[in-house]
Amino acid sequence: MIPWPQIQEAVAPEKLDLVGVAPFPPEPSPAPQALADWVARGYHGTMHYMARTLEARLHPGERFSWARSALVVGLSYALRARPEGDGFHYSRYVGLRDYHNVLRRKLRRVFRRLRHERPRLVGRIYVDTGPLLERDLAYQAGLGWIGKNTNLIAGKQGSYFLLGVLLLSEAVDGPAPSRWPDRCGTCTRCLEACPTDALVAPRLLDARRCLSYLTIEHRGPIPPDLRPHLGPWVFGCDICQEVCPWNRAVAYRAPEPPAPFPTLRQVLAMDDEAFRRYFQGSAVKRAGRDGLLRNMVTSIGSRRLTHRVQEVVAALQDSSPLVRRHAAWALGRLGGSEALQALRERWSRETDPEVRREIQAALRALGHPPQEASGTPPERRRPDGPAGSPSGPGP
């Protein structure tokens, strides 16, 4: 048994904002069943790892049979101001250095201190990546309750926290964590504020509709019906936390972004390698160059920012078909002669069938459907067709 003061001593130098210990394996709670239902409904979308690791998440005691306790910590990302750049919004947590590295390093040092006292202690660190229900562990460690927006809320300290877990091979001898009761009450602000209705019921999130999933985790095209709801968000989304009354009076910290956020044009000029270099140490790296550009042009289209049409026209020439698809969609929303001309010009030489479909839809939306009704790329057209001509007859 590790005495609680020993845990406190090992953790103190790391200046963590939340610290608690959960029993391991975790005690029975609604979380595993909620997870099984969530995956069965397909709410995880293309996060296939959630389905692949389902059994391990449902039965953590089997996978980690050696573990006797879980030290759960929280790092606040309650920033004074939302990180913004070039007119786009980024989730607040981007204002910290990549939290995976920060929390992992902190927990590694905690474990080293504990091991110094107890050389036989075994430990394993997880920040986001492990097959664990981190929110449920945080709840069981007495750090907060699960709000209707599905986030862990630490009372007056709010919900802007990132969580890290250190599994330990010994139990902790301390006061039993006192569980928070549900303090959401009759409030439903988060459900009402979600722009995509991703919160289909209290504590039930259809990730496929969530902007956080669509802008960070999802690799392919954003479904057309959800694109208009992106608004200014290009990396994550904090809306269901911004409206939460428990976040009204949280303690704020200054942002520490690794570099100013780049403009759309700057990202267009980067290749994958340059993008990774630019976002070294930042969580934004996860979206990837094409993903961030996809989000940026979709955001412009979603808000119909007609004064930014030239940037979207430039994106329509990008090497990535994903970016071109979304640029075409955005131009269809922006309209105007520049958008129309760019779409027609691209139509005449675009070879990617998916991009052609988007251009076709955009031209239709602008009331100028291309004469060629099919999505056939230019080089595959009949030889008698006026290849390259946007006004040629259909096949």
Q: Note whether 238 binds ligand B12 by CB under 6 A.
A: yes
Separation CA 36–CA 31 (nearest Å): 9
Which H or E run contains 10?
A: helix 4-11
Only one of the segments 81-89, 232-240, 264-272, 298-306 lies at the binding site for ligand B12 (rule: CB under 6 A); that segment is: 232-240
- Note if the bond before 25 is cis, omega within 30 degrees: yes
Q: Is 8 in the site for ligand SF4 (CB under 6 A)?
A: no
Nearer to ligand SF4, 167 or 205 (CB): 205
Instruction: Tell me if 146 contacts ligand B12 by CB under 6 A.
Output: yes
Contact between residue 291 and residue 215 where contact means Cβ atoms under 8 Å apart: yes
DSSP state for residue 371 in the 8-state scheme: S
Residue closest to ligand B12 (Cβ):
236
Distance in angstroms (rounded) separating the CA atoms of residues 56 and 41: 19
Asked if 150 touches ligand B12 (CB under 6 A), the answer is yes
The two tokens of residue 356 are 């052609």
Put residue 263 in one of left, alpha, beta given phi > 0 → left and psi -120 to 50 → alpha. beta
- Per CB under 6 A, does 209 bind ligand B12? no
Footprint on residues 194-213 left by ligand SF4 (CB under 6 A): 194, 196, 198-199, 205, 210-212
- Asked if 246 interacts with ligand B12 (CB under 6 A), we say no
Under rule CB under 6 A, residue 320 binds ligand B12? no
Residues 159-188 as x/- pattern, contact with ligand SF4 by CB under 6 A:
-------------------------x--xx
Q: Using CA atoms, how far apart are residues 317 and 350, in angstroms rounded to an integer?
A: 10
- The answer to whether 197 is a known catalytic residue is no
> Which residue reads 């097959």 in tokens?
131
Instruction: Choose among ligand B12, ligand SF4, none what residue 189 binds, the Cβ cut-off being 5 to 8 Å by kind.
Output: ligand SF4
Biggest CA pair distance of the chain = 84
Question: Binding partner of residue 114 among ligand B12, ligand SF4, none, CB under 5 to 8 Å per kind?
Answer: none
Q: Can you read off the two tokens belonging to residue 205?
A: 């999130």
The answer to the question of residue 189 lying near ligand SF4 (CB under 6 A) is yes
The residue among 140 and 360 lying less far from ligand B12, judged by its C-beta, is 140
47 binds ligand B12 (CB under 6 A): yes
* Burial letters 162-178, b for 16+ CB under 10 A, else e: bbbbbbbbbebebeebe
Say which DSSP state 392 is in.
P
Nearer Cβ to ligand B12, position 91 or 298? 91
Q: Could you tell me the smallest distance in angstroms from the CB atom of residue 210 to ligand SF4?
A: 3
**What is the SS3 assignment for 125?**
strand
Q: Which of 7, 70, 107, 163 binds ligand B12 (CB under 6 A)?
A: 163
| Count of positions on this chain that bind ligand B12 (CB under 6 A) | 36
Q: Does 245 sit near ligand SF4 (CB under 6 A)? A: yes
Q: Which two tokens stand for residue 345?
A: 């010009």
CB atoms within 10 A of CB 1: 11
Phi then psi dihedrals of residue 26, to 5 deg: -60, 155
Distance CA 276, CA 10 (A): 34
> Could you list the residues that contact ligand SF4 (CB under 6 A)?
147-149, 184, 187-190, 194, 196, 198-199, 205, 210-212, 237, 239-240, 243-246
List, by residue number, the catalytic residues: 128
> Could you list the residues that contact ligand B12 (CB under 6 A)?
30-31, 34-35, 38, 47, 50, 91, 93, 127-128, 132-136, 146, 149-152, 159, 161-163, 203, 205, 207, 210, 212-213, 217, 236-238, 240
